[in-house]
Amino acid sequence: MDLSVFFAGTAGSVPTPKRGLPAILLRAGGERILFDCGEGTQHQLLRSVGLPDLDAIFITHLHLDHWLGLPGMIKTFDMRDRDTRLELFGPPGFVATFEKVVRPVIGRTKYPLDVIDLEPHEEIGFDDFVITGFPVKHRVEAFGYAFIEDDRPGKFDAAEAERLGVQAGPDFGRLQRGEIVNGVTPEQVMGEDRRGRRIVYSGDTMPSQTTEVYAADADLLIHEATFCEDERARARETGHSTAAQAAALARDANVKLLALTHLSTRYFPREIREEARGVFENTVIPRDFDAIEVPFPERGDPHLVRAEDVVTPC
């Protein structure tokens, strides 16, 4: 399954000429899932990879910069005669806010639209993975989200299967599906299950032990870095993180790659990057329209793809 993250918006609180409000598109096989939907998200997608027929949208919390793009996007889908169901998920209180604020503006949709409050640690299942919402520490109730891929079967040892008397062909497939063939069990020719890939998105948060737990050994952690250490007290006061704090969490969680977002206009990106890399070297600062590819571990490490090289449409 191809797996990548596309950064449609990486600014914090207010947009800039070069950075839109928070929105991250997960592309997992044929699934298209959006995390947060700041004002202007559909325009950001239209001018880059195109606006896909999203399967689900997960909102981290109810501050306006993380969901105000929903009304326009929902109506655009209606104008395009969408007929497939769209599910919107958020922390407790999301449904009440949506029904009070958004529903009167958008009216009825021709396609099924489900709006759902998630319970902490609740899993939403897809074909080959789950999305789990977990509570983080912000000024309001807020969730981070973890993409957790199903474990894959271990590597098949064809040479050992032949040595045990299994002929190449359909019998190999039967063994790999878990069947016993001519007295040979799958355990004799299959390696240990391979852990599925994991991507964690923090949303807006102070450093959180829950984030660290979900990010343990993750392929990619996308963490906010609204402040640098010179404003650590301000970060604590507003429920945000510094670049160094995010990097320390990534280091302690043993993630492969850290991507910092929710950038404030008070800093140059290189200041944030330098502070973070002083703690955790494998840190990147995505720009809008950059992507991160997350291949299977045997095919390489997660890596940043700059906007000029992102050519795959949604």
The whole-number pLDDT of residue 314 equals 57
Q: Are residues 115 and 213 in the same domain?
A: yes
Q: Are residues 14 and 38 in the same domain?
A: yes
Q: Are residues 180 and 270 in the same domain?
A: no
Domain end: 170, 193, 216, which one? 193
pLDDT tens series, the chain, 314 aa? 999 999 999 999 899 999 999 999 999 999 999 999 999 999 999 999 999 999 999 999 999 999 999 999 999 999 999 999 999 999 999 999 999 999 999 999 999 999 999 999 999 999 999 999 999 999 999 999 999 999 988 888 888 888 888 888 888 888 888 889 888 888 888 888 889 999 999 999 999 999 999 999 999 999 999 999 999 999 999 999 999 999 999 999 999 999 999 999 999 999 999 999 999 999 999 999 999 999 999 899 999 999 988 755 55
Domain end: 140, 167, 193, which one? 193
Considering the domain boundaries, does residue 288 fall inside one? Answer: yes
Considering the domain boundaries, does residue 50 fall inside one? Answer: yes
Sign, CA dihedral 252-257-261-267, equals positive
Instruction: Give me the residue label for tokens 């319970």.
Output: 119
The whole-number pLDDT of residue 163 equals 87
Binding residues: 61, 63, 65-66, 138, 204, 262
Report the DSSP beta bridge partners of residue 86. 113
CA atoms of 104 and 299, how far apart (whole Å): 48
The whole-number pLDDT of residue 76 equals 96
Binding residues for Zn(2+): 61, 63, 65-66, 138, 204, 262
Considering the domain boundaries, does residue 212 fall inside one? Answer: yes
Q: Are residues 159 and 242 in the same domain?
A: no
Alpha-helix runs per DSSP H in 88-225: 94-97, 103-106, 158-163, 170-176, 186-189, 209-214
Considering the domain boundaries, does residue 251 fall inside one? Answer: yes
Q: Are residues 26 and 172 in the same domain?
A: no
Considering the domain boundaries, does residue 217 fall inside one? Answer: yes
Q: Are residues 244 and 120 in the same domain?
A: yes
Considering the domain boundaries, does residue 54 fall inside one? Answer: yes
Neighbouring residues of 180: CB distance < 8 A, sequence distance ≥ 6: 186
The whole-number pLDDT of residue 311 equals 57
Q: Are residues 104 and 211 in the same domain?
A: yes
Considering the domain boundaries, does residue 274 fall inside one? Answer: yes
Element (H, E) at 292: strand 291-293
Considering the domain boundaries, does residue 314 fall inside one? Answer: no
Instruction: Compute CA distances 122 → 146, 223, 271, whole Å.
Output: 11, 21, 36
Q: Are residues 268 and 178 in the same domain?
A: no
Residues spanned by the domain of 135? 3-152+194-309
Q: Are residues 172 and 264 in the same domain?
A: no
CA atoms of 239 and 218, how far apart (whole Å): 24
Q: Which of 2, 1, 3, 10 is nearest to 284 (CA)?
A: 10
Q: Are residues 169 and 259 in the same domain?
A: no
Split into its structural domains, the chain has a count of 2
Report the DSSP beta bridge partners of residue 219. none
Domain end: 161, 193, 225, which one? 193
The whole-number pLDDT of residue 24 equals 98
Q: Are residues 107 and 249 in the same domain?
A: yes
Do residues 240 and 232 touch, judged by C-beta distance below 8 A? no
Full-prediction pTM beyond 0.85?
yes
Among all residues, which ones are annotated catalytic?
65
Q: Which of 111, 78, 115, 112 is nearest to 97 (CA)?
A: 115
Q: Which DSSP category does 299 fall into? A: G
Length of the chain: 314
The domain that holds 135 is classified in CATH as: 3.60.15.10
Q: Are residues 158 and 188 in the same domain?
A: yes
